[in-house]
């Protein structure tokens, strides 16, 4: 009779280590020549998966970050400054979104409301 014994890696490992790292994503809104401009940056040494910068057409952030989009831009283009073409003003709902791994639905990374 064979007996199955289940053990986790930590139970049988002779040495284990755990490390963590924290990264920050920044989204900045500003007025230039009367328009809403956005810039973004991160301390991460990698790009968010399929990252997108969004401006929404309705007040509030939709439950699905892909809905109600007025303007958008891939996050690997123009990170130093993107002219959205929209007039500067308050209550623009802006976000940096990325896909959940692997190739999953989009999720908010950073949200910003202009004032």
pLDDT in tens, 56-81: 998 999 999 999 999 999 999 988 89
Q: How confident is the model at residue 11 (pLDDT cuts 50, 70, 90)?
A: low
Is residue 2 one of the residues assigned to a domain?
Answer: no
Is residue 10 one of the residues assigned to a domain?
Answer: no
pLDDT tens digits, one per residue of 21-49: 999 999 999 999 999 999 999 999 887 78
Q: pTM for the complete prediction?
A: 0.81
Is residue 61 one of the residues assigned to a domain?
Answer: yes
Rounded to the nearest integer, the mean pLDDT of the chain is 90
Give pLDDT, residue 113. Answer: 98
> Has residue 9 got a pLDDT over 80?
no
Is residue 14 one of the residues assigned to a domain?
Answer: no
The residue segments making up the domain with residue 70 are: 22-113
> Has residue 55 got a pLDDT over 90?
yes
Written in H, E and C, the secondary structure of the chain is CCCCCCCCHHHHCCCCCCCCCCCCEEEEEEEECCEEEEEEEECCCCCCCCCEEEEECCCCCCCCCCCCEEEEEECCCCCCCEEEEEECCCCCEEEEEEECCCCCCEEEEEEEECC
Of 101 and 41, the one with more pLDDT: 41
Is residue 3 one of the residues assigned to a domain?
Answer: no
Give pLDDT, residue 15. Answer: 76
């Amino acid at each position: 009779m064979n007996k199955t014994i289940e053990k986790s890696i930590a139970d049988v490992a002779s040495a284990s280590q755990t490390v963590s790292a924290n990264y920050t994503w920044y989204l900045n809104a500003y007025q230039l020549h009367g328009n809403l401009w956005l810039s973004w940056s991160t301390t991460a040494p990698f790009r968010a998966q399929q990252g997108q910068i969004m401006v929404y057409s309705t007040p509030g952030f939709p439950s699905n970050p892909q809905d109600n989009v007025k303007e958008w831009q891939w996050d690997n283009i123009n990170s130093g400054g993107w002219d959205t073409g929209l007039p500067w003003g308050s209550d623009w709902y802006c976000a940096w979104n990325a896909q959940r791994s692997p190739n999953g639905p989009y999720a908010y990374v950073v949200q910003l409301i202009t004032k």
